[in-house]
Structure 1
């Protein structure tokens, strides 16, 4: 494999001159530049990424740590994050914790050992407890997307979840529904709490009573959505509409409603949250709140790259607004 020394010997220039030409780090005359580049092409020289990273203390690699979830919302976010990393000539190393604290700690150590330039953190489960040992290791430039269960020195990219909860509930009210239930998505998460507050705000604004029996706590996955809807269907009086605080909950609710011999929206209206890709292909297509996933990913990558250049406070909280996607389930 050719080296800079080989290029310098053949081009009859110094190794530092070759380095300046390849890295475009200092002025070199056109004549010498052309001579060096001709040898580079002749030898099919490719700079060592490892050698460069050791020299400039930069690997142009971002780590993304995601706790396990069957929620397609997170996989869609990850796809956009990878696209934006690629557009900025960064590589993405994706690491799943699979619901295991020990594995989470090991994955963090692995990412640090790989000398990633920064981390994007995204926790999908509200029941996670992150140990102090893990938090003490998180000293790299970081951006939190969606949620993380502990406070860290990191920028945060989130959506306006109270507005989203309000828009979802108001959409049902505007369609004439007055008996509206909610299935939450892990009440420990402040985003879930905010969606619940948005729900209550819309009901109060419309002078509708808040029925505590119609507030069902759940988690953002298909099975919990199914179980929560089954509980709701046993309530008396029965609500006529349900706000599922994630599309995965809504899909589980669809199954429970179907098994009960009911129809959507004739017997039970359903509105979801996230606008995952499959939502538009359900029968009937799911009305939902669209999180700006592409914009969330773009902001996360751009904010992290800025943080890598300057890892000093203050830390930002960037909030993006969701929008209603009206379909046929209400």
Structure 2
């Protein structure tokens, strides 16, 4: 078995320095070149005694160190509990397994060098640019992506089927007899190693636009794209109201946006669902307590986090084939769409 002393000799440093580097002692002041040399020597000598001990321990629920990489700021989590719920699912399941999750990283101030050495795995919540995907891959052997599948042939991932979910929402509205349907949504963001983020069309909007266009029911003048916040939901609904000739219903891409939109409608004495129906997305806890309880698409966000931890555990136990898990969504019917209108 390779010892720290052997690594120290080959690295031309003291055993104490080797030990502190391999244990990620942040109080150690050492040149980055020296740190990397130690890590390279340890990897070359296949120094994995700690990991082997963990895998052979009689209690498989203990000993692993897992990092949690979040593509949202704390403010964004508070504005849209979708991602907060995923994180809570990860933390709950890690606690169940006795896994340490003290390593938490947020994209907005992250550099690859910040990742602690010795992480057994990393769970990434949200979308990241390909160059960052590649950098993370070089630092951590086992990575699970949640709400994103960058490369199904390499990484485990947990997602939902946005196309199916959006069609569920539109089917529900159309089955209730609504013909003219507006849209309020946001842009998805992929984050890179810099503070900039790349925006691209949200899958819900693409499916909505194509479906309504194919059926000859697209109301482009009542289609609005902003940010996934209550404030922008309120602002965009105000814009739609100001245009006049409101549609029969709206599909709104997140519950926080829908709650903001409800406020704008209420201020203008427009009744939901009597004057305008609302179909939303996410099914956060607040949806059932809105001024008009929201009909919405339930996304099992907490279960997405739980599934990510289970996939990671399977990897750590030796599974080599990458797995993509697609969790089902379902309609939750409440007052904002009305009931049977036929």
Alignment of 1:65-144 (within 5 A): 65-66=69-70, 67-68=72-73, 69=76, 70-93=79-102, 95=104, 97=106, 100=108, 103-105=109-111, 109-113=113-117, 115-123=118-126, 130=129, 132=131, 135-139=134-138, 140=140, 141-144=142-145
Gaps of 5+ in 2: 1-48, 56-62, 191-198, 338-342
Of 320, 327, 330 in structure 1, the residue corresponding to residue 334 of structure 2 is: 327
Is the alpha carbon distance of 1:283 and 1:236 closer, same or farther for their aligned partners in structure 2, counting shifts above 3 Å?
A: closer
Conservation of the 8 A alpha-carbon contact between 2:66 and 2:119: yes
Match of 2:204 in 1: 195
Of 40, 52, 64 in structure 2, the residue corresponding to residue 60 of structure 1 is: 64
Conservation of the 8 A alpha-carbon contact between 1:158 and 1:296: yes
Match of 1:16 in 2: none
Distance 2:67 2:132 in 1: 19
Match of 1:316 in 2: 323
Larger Rg: 1
Conservation of the 8 A alpha-carbon contact between 1:155 and 1:317: yes
CA apart distance, 1:323: 0.1
Is the alpha carbon distance of 1:192 and 1:320 closer, same or farther for their aligned partners in structure 2, counting shifts above 3 Å?
A: farther
- Where 2:303 maps in the other structure, the secondary structure is helix
Conservation of the 8 A alpha-carbon contact between 2:86 and 2:303: no
User: What per-residue deviation string (whole Å, max 9, x for no partner) do you get for residues 150-196 of structure 1?
Assistant: 66942221001111111111111122211101112315679964323
Q: State the superposition RMSD in angstroms.
A: 3.0
Q: Which has the higher strand share?
A: 2
Conservation of the 8 A alpha-carbon contact between 2:230 and 2:257: yes
Distance 2:133 2:176 in 1: 47
Q: Report which stretch shifted further, 249-258 or 132-141.
A: 132-141
Is the alpha carbon distance of 1:71 and 1:178 closer, same or farther for their aligned partners in structure 2, counting shifts above 3 Å?
A: same
Is 1:220 the counterpart of 2:217? The answer is: no
Of 254, 265, 273 in structure 2, the residue corresponding to residue 246 of structure 1 is: 254
- Where 1:220 maps in the other structure, the secondary structure is coil
- Where 1:329 maps in the other structure, the secondary structure is helix
Is the alpha carbon distance of 1:135 and 1:251 closer, same or farther for their aligned partners in structure 2, counting shifts above 3 Å?
A: farther
Alignment of 1:24-39 (within 5 A): none
Match of 1:169 in 2: 170
Q: Report which stretch shifted further, 293-302 or 130-139.
A: 130-139
Is 1:296 the counterpart of 2:311? The answer is: no
Distance 1:179 1:123 in 2: 33
Gaps of 5+ in 1: 1-51
Distance 1:94 1:239 in 2: 48
Is the alpha carbon distance of 1:240 and 1:96 closer, same or farther for their aligned partners in structure 2, counting shifts above 3 Å?
A: farther
Distance 1:220 1:318 in 2: 25
CA apart distance, 1:197: 4.1
Conservation of the 8 A alpha-carbon contact between 2:181 and 2:217: no
Distance 1:319 1:83 in 2: 20
Distance 2:183 2:97 in 1: 41
Distance 2:311 2:93 in 1: 12
Is the alpha carbon distance of 1:226 and 1:95 closer, same or farther for their aligned partners in structure 2, counting shifts above 3 Å?
A: farther
Distance 1:325 1:79 in 2: 22
Aligned length: 267
Distance 2:133 2:148 in 1: 16
Match of 1:39 in 2: none
Match of 1:235 in 2: 243
CA apart distance, 1:130: 4.4
